[in-house]
Amino acid sequence: MDRLKDAIVPYLTQKEIKDLIKKLARQVESEYKDQEVVLVCPLKGSILFIADFMRELNLPQRVDFVKVSGTKGQTGAPVKIIKDISLNITGKHVLIVEEIIDEAKTLSFLKSRLMAANPASLKIITLLDKPARRVVNLKPDFVGKTIEDRFVVGYGLDEGEIGRNYPDIYYLKH
CB of 101 to ligand IMP, least distance (A): 5
* 168 touches ligand IMP (CB under 6 A): no
Beta partners for 125?
Answer: 97, 142
Using CB under 6 A as the binding rule, whether residue 101 contacts ligand IMP is answered as yes
Q: Which of 105, 113, 145, 164 binds ligand IMP (CB under 6 A)?
A: 105
Is residue 45 near Mg ion by the rule CB under 5 A?
yes
Instruction: Sort 149 into a burial class: Cβ within 10 Å, 0-12 / 13-18 / 19+.
Output: exposed
Amino acid at 142: F
If residue 62 lies in a helix (H) or strand (E), which one and from where to where? strand 61-68
CA–CA distance, 26 with 10 (Å, rounded to integer): 27
Among this protein's residues, is 102 annotated catalytic? yes
Give contact residues for Mg ion (rule: CB under 5 A).
42, 45
Give contact residues for ligand IMP (rule: CB under 6 A).
45, 71, 98, 100-107, 151-153, 157-158
Active site residues: 102
